[in-house]
Amino acid sequence: MVLVDTSVWIEASRRDGDLAHKVGLENLLDAYEAAWCSPVKLEFMGGSRKEDRKKLAFWFDCIPYRLAEERHWELAKSNAWKLRDKGHTLPWNDLLIASMAMDLNMRVYAKDKHFELMAELIGLRLYLPGYGGCYAPDEVS
């Protein structure tokens, strides 16, 4: 299962969005491997246009959802300290999404560079689509 960050949902929903991200997300959805979480729900749905909200809510009801729990907030705090001690201050929502993925043994599909930094410094596993955007199974699970 792959936790899809807001950056990919936004990119995929744009008319002129990056085709690679659109196809990558579409194939994740087709493989029933895409998931979203409460921080992404706030970021994406909170920023949606009034006329799109009902349609998006209906669409997202079909996708596996992970709720942020207290342990995820604690892990995010710990990861924030590790990153800050290395000279990096990242947005809390990105830290929470990454920490949830780490705790739940999920990869993150993101366009946001903060996630690449977390992969390098705290061991977050990132999702990269396969050839032509095809779903790429996890080799570690």
Compute, in degrees rounded to 10, the torsion defined by CA atoms 130, 132, 133, 135.
Answer: -50
What is the average per-residue pLDDT within 36-52? 91
Closest CA relative to residue 20, chosen from 112, 115, 132: 132
What local confidence, expressed as pLDDT, does residue 55 receive? 83
CA distance 123 to 141: 15
What local confidence, expressed as pLDDT, does residue 140 receive? 60
| Helices marked H in 19-91 | 19-30, 38-40, 46, 53-60, 70-85
Enumerate the domain spans of the chain.
2-133
What local confidence, expressed as pLDDT, does residue 56 receive? 83
Q: Could you tell me the pTM of the whole model?
A: 0.92
Compute, in degrees rounded to 10, the torsion defined by CA atoms 79, 107, 111, 77.
Answer: -10
Inter-residue contact 91 to 114 (CB < 8 Å) = yes
Average pLDDT over the chain reads 94
Domain spanning 2-133: CATH 3.40.50.1010: yes
